[in-house]
Amino acid sequence: AVIGRYKLSVRSTSGGSSSPASVGTFVLLFNPWSSGDDVFMPNKAECEEYVLEEFGIIFGGNKDHINSFGWNFGQFQGDILNICLSMLDRSLNYRQDPATDVSHRNDPKYLGRVLSAMVNANDDQGVLLGNWSGKYEDGKSPSSWTGSGEILQNWKNSGFKPVRYGQCWVFAAVLTTVLRCLGIPTRTITNFSSAHDADGNLRVDEFYDASGNHLDVATDSIWNFHVWNESWFSRSDLGPAYNGWQVLDATPQEESGGIYQCGPTSRTAIKEGEVDLDFDCPFVFAEVNADCMYWNYDPATEKKTLIFSKSTVIGQFISTKAVGRDDRVDITNDYKYEEGSTKERDIFKKARKKLGLEDKFDPTAPTPEEIDQKPDISGKFKVAGPLEVGKDLNLILVLANLRSDAKTVHVNMTAWSTVYTRRPVHDIWKDSVSVTLSPKEEKQFPIKISYSEYQQQLTTDNMIQVTGLCHVEDGLQVLVQRDIILDNPAIDIQVLGEAKVNKEVDVEVVFTNPIHMEVKDCVLQAEGNDLLRGILEIDIPPLKASEKSSIKFKIIPFGTGPKHLLVHFSCDKFADIKTFKMVNV
């Protein structure tokens, strides 16, 4: 049966005449507990987590520094079901042909695809407008949201105008809310070092100029992380081997069938390189498998030279929240065979062949000679000190001569603030160093980027990309780079007493200003299903250097069991400090 709102009436017959009487309306949803349903999930604990759980944990950061934050999906709150149903009636498919659209609403693969388009605002005036510029003054910064409810309510209350702004985890979290609300088991997935292969050649190209600046010229990119969804349902179109977890992605990256939608892509098909199967398998396969090429590019002559290529960078630490626990589970092996294994390379070749890339000459590809070249030196940036907003950033550039003759090296270094997609936003610092390395010698060069240099330039992502392009005399260029994430200071939540239904209990939030200057424009926000109605917002007076602030507020829980209180703190020097506390009511 198609899901949605039904009218129920009863017809009674007496004395030969019959009259219908309306009994009311009901809403039919998918049922993952029922073995006949396309979304049937035999594991009851998984049904609890992926359909009934209203709190989630989303992972971000980068492969060297994975962090996490809580999210309030809130799929059973207030008006959310009505908003989800109205979302279906606002889709392009419904507007073009209502009868056909509604007749397909018994099919989770159809609905998953339609809703992956509706959660982004592209094409259809959907829920969220994406923005990756690092500037969000005319809306809310993507990293300031703590739950889906506020976004979906804002969309409805504004007369269905797109909400500003979203980035990948916001799109994925809202899609999780909508699909769980409709009864489709769904979770958020984070892929670290995620490829955005815009031209479909299973390769991503990055370009750097002679000074070491990461040039924003390629359509391809490697994101520090990307968040998408997996939903659980059967694939009658592909066969039972492809049942189970399916990838859906509501972030508007590339068009599919002329609009910004992605999936469902069978996770099994990705692992086995079956990139000719519906839907959007080549794009998702590239996100976890593409090869990387790093080029030196001269904008004046448009000449490019390969610096090096890597086939093991993309698709690392693929993560999701554990069932029934607040831990991270690594599911990389469900997406691909072990990196560097012959099986993994065979699958990659199989995918290239299916896409017709094996036989086609690609003028932009490096020659086998270029790929096989071996550098004379190696380099890396080591961290030497705390990585915290408000502190100076101390690194060490380590250069090593790999040869048995001396090498002269000139290194051009830059540091840029970036958004999490690694798109450069502001240049922060540059320097250069020249050195002669004796045979097999290793040298270290300390680097300091002061807080005053980066403070104004940091985006809400707290990310800095440090790059060194090494020009070796009579040798190959070597690229050294590191993506640094600076941690925000911590905030601490304590519940002062036992939490009981309909009884007031105090909550204390403590924040200490860790820097040697005043912070102002401080705002605390809190939300939590069955703990607070709506979002609590408290303005906090400015805090002097090293001053501690203790903020108290009351909650009156109205539901029993484990509940999550999410707290968000921001001020002029620190954006979007988040934490959560489990409260047993």
**183: phi > 0 → left, psi -120 to 50 → alpha, else beta; which?**
left
Scored b (16 or more CB within 10 A) or e, 264-288 reads: bbbbbbbbbbbbebbbbbbbbbbbb
> What integer is the mean pLDDT of 422-431?
96
Domains 44-355 and 491-584 share a fold: no
Instruction: Tell me whether residue 168 is one of the annotated catalytic residues.
Output: yes
pLDDT interval class at 13 (50, 70, 90) = confident
Which residue is catalytic, options 249, 280, 483, 530? 249
- 168, 470, 522, 571: the active-site residue: 168
Taking the CA atoms of residue 172, residue 84, residue 77 and residue 26 in that order, the dihedral angle to the nearest 10 degrees is -140
State the Cα–Cα distance between residues 450 and 447, nearest whole angstrom: 10
- pLDDT top residue among 285 and 14: 285
Q: Average pLDDT, stretch 181-190?
A: 98
Q: What is the CATH number of domain 491-584?
A: 2.60.40.10
249 catalytically annotated: yes
Q: Is 72 annotated as a binding residue?
A: no
**Mean pLDDT, residues 166-180:** 98
Is 415's pLDDT higher than 90? yes
Amino acid at 300: A
Alpha helices in 384-513 (DSSP H): 451-454
pLDDT, one tens digit per residue, over 268-296 is 999 999 999 999 999 999 999 999 999 99
Least confident range from 6-20, 87-101, 534-548: namely: 6-20
CA 184 → CA 84, 106, 108, 508, distances in Å?
A: 13, 11, 7, 37
**What six digits make up the tokens of 354?**
């299916």
Owner of token pair 């799109």: 171
**pLDDT tens per residue, range 524-538:** 999 999 999 999 999
* 255 assigned to a ligand binding site: no
Predicted TM-score (pTM) of the model is 0.96
Residue with tokens 């695809």: 113
Q: Is 291 annotated as a binding residue?
A: yes
How confident is residue 170, by pLDDT bands cut at 50, 70 and 90?
very high
220, 197 Cβ separation under 8 angstroms: yes
Which two structure tokens, joined as six digits, stand for 361? 């000459």
Q: Which of 8-17, 127-136, 282-291 has the lowest mean pLDDT?
A: 8-17
The per-residue pLDDT of the chain, averaged, comes to 96
Q: How far apart are CA 256 and CA 277, in angstroms?
A: 14
Q: What percentage of the chain has pLDDT greater than the value 90?
A: 93
pLDDT at 11 over 80: yes
Please indicate if the annotation marks 344 as binding a ligand: yes
| Paired tokens of 537 | 């917002």
CA end-to-end span of the chain, whole Å?
38
User: What is the DSSP code (8-state) at residue 140?
Assistant: -
DSSP characters for 88-113? HHTSHHHHH-HHHHHHTTT-HHHHHH
pLDDT surpasses 80 at 360? no
Mean local confidence (pLDDT), 291-305? 92
Residue spans per domain, the chain = 44-355, 374-485, 491-584
Whether the pLDDT of residue 471 is over 90: the answer is yes
Pick the CATH number of 44-355 from 3.90.260.10, 3.30.70.20, 3.30.450.20, 2.60.120.620: 3.90.260.10
**Catalytic residue list contains 226:** yes
Q: Is 374-485 in CATH node 3.40.710.10?
A: no
Given the structure tokens 């073995």, which residue do they identify? 35
User: Quick check: 433 and 413 in contact, CB under 8 A?
Assistant: yes
Q: Looking at residues 129-134, what average pLDDT do you find?
A: 96
Instruction: List the catalytic residue out of 196, 214, 226, 568.
Output: 226
pLDDT of residue 373: 86
In three-state secondary structure terms, 80 is helix
Question: In the predicted model, is pLDDT for residue 509 greater than 90?
Answer: yes
Over residues 246-268, the pLDDT tens digits come to 999 999 999 999 999 999 999 99
> How far, in whole angstroms, is CA 516 from its chain's centroid?
33
Q: Copy the structure tokens of residue 353.
A: 């062949």
